[in-house]
């Protein structure tokens, strides 16, 4: 295990439906609709991925509550719950993700995020990390939005584990704003763990839980920049950015009326 590896205490037993699941006919219909959209999504580009991801969410029976757009040239630091997180973020903005190498091998999802320019990192061998951070900084300098899950693994709800600092170096190098992002799921106005992809659960099992879910909503809350107004960055800024982003997501989760 490397210093980059994070361990979550969440397990598949955390996945609980807050409302009675939908019937079998609707589950089958969602699966068929999802397959049809996935065929289109596999051919998506950065220009079209936003709309195809919105279609995929709708096909799976998931409603999206999110801002109309995200300011360009921004590093988004989000908590991580599910494979559905990436779909929800891409439905808002065609971002460049930083993801662990294993995600590239996931069925369908891996191919989709490769097509939109995701940068991958081997967590057991971090020699290439500085180069990867440099690439992300270039993306930010060119006005593109970069999204990272600095918690390092998935949890059943926000805020998740403490944030790793490395990815924040890209924002420092590019002088780009950092915006914390809280991703959360609800059913019937109550927090839901249904989409959580945690522990030893399989991707197929997680997908099945999603298509069974009734009134599932994914919320993508983009907060104000944590470094607003800064023109210079002290040596410890990377740690401060990571901690500030984590605290913003924690506060959002703690004060949510849901």
Q: pLDDT, tens digit, for every residue of 98-155?
A: 877 777 777 677 777 777 778 877 666 567 778 888 889 999 999 999 999 988 778 7
Instruction: Look at residue 210 in the predicted model and tell me its pLDDT.
Output: 95
Instruction: Look at residue 187 in the predicted model and tell me its pLDDT.
Output: 94
Longest dimension (CA), the chain: 58
**Alpha-carbon torsion, ordered 67, 255, 8, 16, to 10 deg:** -80
Confirm whether 4 is domain-assigned.
no
Confirm whether 5 is domain-assigned.
no
Confirm whether 43 is domain-assigned.
yes
Measured distance CA(241)–CA(209) in Å, rounded: 35
More confident: 125 or 240:
240
Q: Is the pLDDT of residue 2 over 60?
A: no
Confirm whether 153 is domain-assigned.
yes
Q: pLDDT, tens digit, for every residue of 45-100?
A: 777 888 999 999 999 999 999 987 788 899 999 999 988 998 999 999 888 888 77
pLDDT band at 165 (very low <50, low <70, confident <90, very high): confident
Q: Assign 128 to helix, strand or coil.
A: coil
Measured distance CA(253)–CA(61) in Å, rounded: 24
What's the number of CA atoms in the CB half-sphere (13 Å) around residue 33? 18
In 3D space, the residue among 12, 5, 3 whose CA is nearest the CA of residue 153 turns out to be 5
Residues of the domain holding 179: 19-253
Domain CATH number, residue 26: 3.40.1130
Both tokens assigned to 85: 């997180």
Confirm whether 215 is domain-assigned.
yes
Most confident range, picked from 122-131, 188-197, 200-209, 236-245: 188-197
In what helix (H) or strand (E) does residue 99 lie, and over which residues does it extend?
strand 96-100
Confirm whether 216 is domain-assigned.
yes
Residue 157's contacts (CB-CB under 8 Å, 6 or more residues apart) are 81, 184, 191, 193, 196, 253
Q: Are strands 119-121 and 178-187 parallel, antiparallel or unpaired?
A: unpaired
Measured distance CA(127)–CA(124) in Å, rounded: 9
Measured distance CA(243)–CA(137) in Å, rounded: 20
**Alpha-carbon torsion, ordered 31, 99, 167, 163, to 10 deg:** 60
Instruction: Look at residue 227 in the predicted model and tell me its pLDDT.
Output: 63
Q: Is the pLDDT of residue 1 over 80?
A: no
Residue 61's contacts (CB-CB under 8 Å, 6 or more residues apart) are 22, 26, 30, 210, 211, 213, 216
Ranges 132-141, 154-163, 207-216, 226-235: which has the least confidence: 226-235
pLDDT band at 257 (very low <50, low <70, confident <90, very high): very low
Q: Are strands 146-148 and 75-78 parallel, antiparallel or unpaired?
A: parallel
Confirm whether 9 is domain-assigned.
no
What is residue 170's DSSP assignment?
A: H
Measured distance CA(199)–CA(189) in Å, rounded: 26
Query: pTM score, two decimals?
Result: 0.86
Structural domains counted in the chain: 1
Beta carbons of 116 and 244 less than 8 angstroms apart: no
Confirm whether 23 is domain-assigned.
yes
Q: Which residues of 13-35 are buried (b: 16+ CB within 10 A; e: fewer)?
A: ebbebbeeebeeeebeebeebbe
């Amino acid at each position: 295990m490397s210093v980059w590896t994070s361990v979550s205490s969440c397990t598949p037993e955390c996945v609980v439906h807050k409302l009675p699941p939908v019937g079998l006919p609707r589950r089958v219909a969602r699966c068929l609709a999802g397959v049809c959209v996935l065929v289109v999504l596999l051919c998506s580009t950065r220009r079209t991925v936003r709309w195809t991801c919105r279609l995929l969410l709708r096909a799976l029976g998931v409603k999206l509550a999110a801002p109309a757009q995200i300011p360009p040239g921004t590093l988004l630091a989000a908590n991580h719950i599910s494979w559905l997180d990436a779909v929800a973020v891409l439905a808002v903005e065609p971002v460049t993700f930083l993801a662990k190498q294993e995600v590239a091998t996931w069925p369908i999802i891996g191919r989709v995020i490769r097509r939109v320019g995701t940068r991958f990192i081997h967590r057991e061998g971090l020699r290439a990390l500085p180069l990867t951070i440099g690439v992300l900084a270039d993306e930010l300098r060119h006005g593109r939005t970069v999204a990272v899950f600095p918690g390092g693994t998935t949890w059943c709800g926000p805020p998740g584990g403490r944030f790793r600092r490395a990815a924040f170096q890209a924002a420092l190098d590019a002088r780009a704003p950092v915006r914390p992002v809280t991703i959360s799921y609800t059913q019937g106005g109550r927090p839901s763990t249904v989409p959580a992809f945690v522990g030893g659960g399989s991707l197929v099992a997680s997908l099945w839980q999603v298509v069974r879910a009734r009134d599932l909503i994914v919320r993508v809350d983009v907060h104000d920049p944590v470094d607003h107004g800064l023109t210079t960055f002290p040596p410890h800024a990377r740690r401060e950015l990571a901690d500030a982003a984590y605290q913003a997501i924690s506060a959002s989760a703690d004060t949510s009326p849901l």
